[in-house]
Chains A and B, each alone.
Chain A
Amino acid sequence: MTPSTLQTLPQGIEYVRILPEIVLSAFGIVIMLLDPLVDQRRSSRMLGTIALIGSLAAIAASQYQTQCPPGTAFWDMVRVDAFSIFFHIVVTTVTAVVILTSFEYMDVQQLHAGEYYALVLFGAVGMCLMSSAVELVLIFIALEISSISTYILAGYRRRVAISSESSVKYFLLGSFATAFFLYGVALMFGATGSTSIAKIGETLNAGPVPLLAYVAIALMFVGLGFKVAAAPFHIWTPDVYEGAPAPIVGFMSTAPKAAVFAVLLRVLFEAHAPGRLWLIWVVAALSMTLGNIGALVQDNIKRLLAYSSIAHAGYLLVAFAALPSSGIPAAMFYTAAYAAMNVGCFAVISHFASAGERRVTLEDYAGLGRRSPILAATLTLFLLSLIGIPITGGFFAKFYVFSAALQADLVGLTVIGVLNSAVGAYYYLRVIVMMYMREPREETPVAPIPFGLGAALAISGFATLYLGLLPGRVLEYARSAAALLR
């Protein structure tokens, strides 16, 4: 940054390039300001509605960005193109669904709504910014914005011990991992003299790669790998997911992960990171295997899905080992499909968990098929998608990832992946079997599905089926977006 560039203030179009972030921040601040002013009893509903409007406005803002010419803003720190818009839309949509799910959840759990919705929106700001930042320091800041919001949200059930525990664990380990990332950024600056991804890419592509750059990539990968719960940095996941509020688990297992995967794509492909192949090969194979085997013996559905999310991070990383031309779109498609099905799963779990999250073991799901056919049917849809059965998004997600891997001649990794997905079928099926083929343990009726949750289920269910029936458009979009990254 030369002094002359600093003197010119950002132009109008440059603000459009951070429009979703502006919108989300503005709504977040409004909620913070209103919180003390409104009546406690009505605050939950009202603040939630404001947050929902905020997230919808952010979706609209992301849509609006597609109308504007792609380009950079704020002294080349942010770039908005088809790639970042794709992740903006994933993040903002997940945010809207999570807010819809939270309406009822906050009431049932008797939680004070105030900062909750503000934090969700602020988290989304960080995630959006992550996917459009093209400068490592800004990426770091965005990562922290998103992480700190989720640390607090994880402990939001203050009266519950495991929730506080979850928050503290997540915070301590997360900070530990962030430090790795920051070290990596520093070393990368030392190695290439820049923190701009494009410039780093040029330097690394042009000449001999200094050893320092390898170490920098390693450190950044550790930090990011932790955030997406890839093995061997996954160990925090089950404990944190078990304790955190269910809608928040749905949030943090999808939106921040999508954003971090966007960063990983930029760092690995746009910056021409050296030596990625075998590193990712091993991490992907390890994540898939440990995640799936770990899930086999879980009896708590939140822990089960925590291990499942480790496994899915593994499947996704398979795409990173493939060639950029097919790997990047496959990875993008996978993030979208995974977001749809997982956020849907947790919407069902949030509703069914009841006050104090009492019902979260598999035993509790016995006979759900009879007690609440709609809830059971939607959960079955999401689980089938997680298995990867055709006509759901999960099928094509796996399909594209594995075919990308085969195009790169990664036969071994593909075989590991497909075998793993066969193992995975077992534990998802356990849940379905529980719901449909076991006698209910208690006959108390499941609470009727309120409007907000119904909308959340409808959106995620529709997205799952849409990606499974007509994946072409999304894939084509991802393909054109991926072309910009190289």
Chain B
Amino acid sequence: MSRKRLGAPLLAAGILTGLVLVYLGYEARTSARPNLALIVVLAIFTVGFIAAGVGALRSGAHPDALSGEPGDYRHAYRLFGIVGALLLATLAARSYAVPASFGQFGHYRGTAPKDAQKVRAPQHQGRKSCVKCHELQAEDHAKDAHHTVECENCHGPAPEHVLVDATKKNIEKRVTKEWCLVCHRKLNARPGAFPQVSWRDHYKFVGVKDESIECIKCHDPHRPLFLEKPITEARLHPLVHRCRDCHIGEMDEKKALPKEHPATFECSYCHEKLTKHAAESSHPDVRCTTCHLFIKDSDYAGRIVRNTDPRFCLLCHAKTDFRSSKAKGIDWPGHLEQVKADTKDEETPCTKCHGLHDTDPAKKTAAGKEKP
């Protein structure tokens, strides 16, 4: 291929880059961050291509005899004139079409963040807004195990109710067992320390035969454990691990630990007398942590709960028509009358008459202390 033939493509490339350069130059005047490096590189290429193209075109004789004679280009002027006018008009029109604030902070419409701020009013108002009116539930809720769960998690966001008209009472109440299981279903992926149940096992443990019974029949959603003291103030306690905290799957907890196993605590390591005593008393099959809920506060510390609220004991001991468990069922507060207690107060802790670990009332001394 002779040098002459290269002339046209080279010139073409030069004109192309030149056009891009013109546009970028135009853009650079109004843009926040003009890409100067690109412009300089393109300028070099443009000049190079055009020079090479023109040089090649002018060199030597073209085998095509046509180039020697002049051509008549007048018919082309009209065409190129129209094309040029159209291009200019497009560029001019473009300037009007660009939004006013475009490019102010970058290659975007400057007023766009403001639009993003105003896209909608916040829907979720947070616990603080519910607490203002619903003091009773808020008090209960803040003390108990669900204290970190947002009200709106179970009740849905209700901005109209909170901000506009509190008489609009179309608030959701998600109360089915399926709903509780969304969080509390036993899953391998859930951290072992988090309270989770296989609901059939749990129902078997508490003696519920009817599968349609909802969790809230026993557990008040605002006070699932009926804690008398705020959970955040429960006593600090060294970390107590169960097998599930590290191991996934069912483990035989009665098996002896292998030699290289990391140190774990059993309650009896520190509370030897008490655990022995409890093992011989009325709650021998119940683990310490069933009543003394252990909460893992962080990787370094935990808290242990002591709860003498009668409703907590009633979680197992309430006599109901849907449950029949090994735990002796009683009628509350009818039980107080039955045993002719000297108080009719429903909030009387069971431990007033029944001991802490040995629950035979006969074993209590007059001072209310347990006999060892």
Query: Do the two chains bind?
Result: no
